[in-house]
Each structure stands twice: as C-alpha cells, then as structure tokens.
A and B are shown apart, each in its own frame.
Chain A
Amino acid sequence: QSVLTQPPSASGTPGQRVTISCSGSSSNIATNAVNWYQQLPGTAPKLLIYRNNQRPSGVPDRFSGSKSGTTASLAISGLQPEDEADYYCAAWDDSLTGQGLFGGGTKLTVL
C-alpha cells in the first residue's frame, strides 16, 4: 500500500478535462516537490510534470500540475485517445532516513 494515495482509475471522453489526485502527508507532499509520470503500456515511465507544476520540454500544455497542502493534482484538458495510460505521482519523503515514494498509479481510460 503506497503512502501516496491515488485513485486506481479515471476516465473521460475525448475533449473532456480529467483530474487525478495524489494524497500524501506533511513529510512528503507538503514539504517536497511533486512529480508526475506517464507510462504507456510496455514502456518506461516518462516525466510529465516536475516540481509540482512545471512541464518538461515537449509535454503539451494540456497537462498541468498543482499542489495544495498534502494533496497534489494532475489535470489533463482536451483529453485525447493517446492520453490513455497509467499516471503516477512521486515525491520525496522526509520521515525516517528519507526515501522516494510513488503513488499507486491511476489507470486513465479514454472512452
């Protein structure tokens, strides 16, 4: 069971806006940067959002990230069929000796 909690699934129709949440705690999301990854079937994860709300070069501006307190969110607007993938949040956790954490992942289905 992940310390970062994501809904296991989400869905939307083409053109819609979808939001995926990532709930953590004071030792991770509240105090450290949140990153989001997109993983297409059979491929390595790809960095989608870094430092809460920054997009790497090449990532469409349809993808956006935000954070408030112990919860982060990934929003995808203008949903497209190729957005169907697994999405993971990740953050550093300062508890104990410190470690990286991933959320359990959210499977996004484009209907």
Chain B
Amino acid sequence: QVQLVQSGAKEAKPGASVTVSCNVSGYTFTTYYIHWVRQAPGQGLEWMGWINPNRGATKVAQKFQGRVTMIRDTSLTTAYMEVSRLTSDDTAVYYCARSVYQVQLDYWGQGTLVTVSS
C-alpha cells in the first residue's frame, strides 16, 4: 500500500534551519511529484512547492523562494524539504503529499510539527 512517512517533530531556534523528510513506499518513487504543504496552528493549508523525484526539478511558491530547498534521494525513496532563516511564523505542521496532477494530492504523510522558539 502507498505510504508516506515523515520524520518526527522538530524544534528549532529563530534564524536556524530545519529539514523534514518524507519516505515513500508502495509505488515507484520517480513516477509522481511530491508536494509540500504546511498548516500553522489553527490556520488553513498553505502550498509550499513540489519536487519531481525523477529529475529533481523543483517549483517553490514565490513566498518561500530563497528560503526553502527541496531535494530527493532516489536510492532511499525519500524527499526532503529544508526551511532556512526560521521565524516564529514558520511554526506549523508540514505535510508531504503525492501528486497525481497539479494539486490533486491523493496520499499524504502524517505531518511533522516544527516549532520555532527561542
């Protein structure tokens, strides 16, 4: 069965960076794009970007350009997203999700809580 399993909760200080991983199984990793979506406490969903695991190409939302990096390791069938220069506004649950087409996201990871606090 298709599964996306994310890394555990993380704490980071303002100005630091954090990396969230997303290990997939149950399908061919390079066949579907992986999207990243975040949700601040009590807030809605916010699209952050995607990575094409086949070629490694990425598209990052304009808001996050220069601060978010997406990579993948095909041998580990894992996608990673790094967010740098963290502020308290980056405190959120970060989700990875498999994309069938555009933002048709059919399988999601369980989410990773990132807390930014001094």
Residues of A within 8 A of B (CB): 2, 32-33, 35, 37, 39, 44-47, 50-51, 56, 86, 88, 90-92, 96-105
Contacts and interface: CB of A to CB of B under 8 A. Distances in A.
Contacts of B103: 35, 90-92, 100-102
23 contacts: A32-B102, A44-B95, A44-B108, A44-B109, A44-B110, A45-B45, A45-B95, A47-B104, A50-B101, A50-B106, A88-B45, A90-B103, A90-B105, A91-B102, A97-B62, A99-B59, A99-B62, A100-B35, A100-B102, A101-B103, A102-B45, A102-B103, A104-B44
A32 B104 CA distance: 11
A46 B37 CA distance: 13
B53 interface: no
Q: What 10 pairs across the A-B complex have the smallest Cβ distances?
A: A100-B47, A92-B102, A44-B108, A105-B44, A100-B103, A102-B45, A90-B103, A50-B104, A104-B44, A99-B61
Interface of B: 35, 37, 44-47, 50, 59, 61-62, 95, 97, 100-106, 108-111
Contact of B111 (A35, A44, A51, A104): A44
Contacts of A44: 95, 108-111
Given A99-B62, A100-B35, 10 more contacts: A2-B44, A35-B104, A44-B95, A45-B108, A50-B106, A100-B102, A100-B103, A102-B37, A102-B44, A105-B44
Contacts of A86: 44
A37 B95 CA distance: 14
A58 B13 CA distance: 42
Contacts of B110: 44
Given A99-B61, A100-B102, A105 B108 contact: no
Contacts of A91: 102-103
Given A45-B108, A47-B104, A51-B101, A101 B47 contact: yes
A33 B101 CA distance: 9
Contact of B106 (A56, A90, A99): A56
A12 to B, nearest CB: 21
Contacts of A2: 44
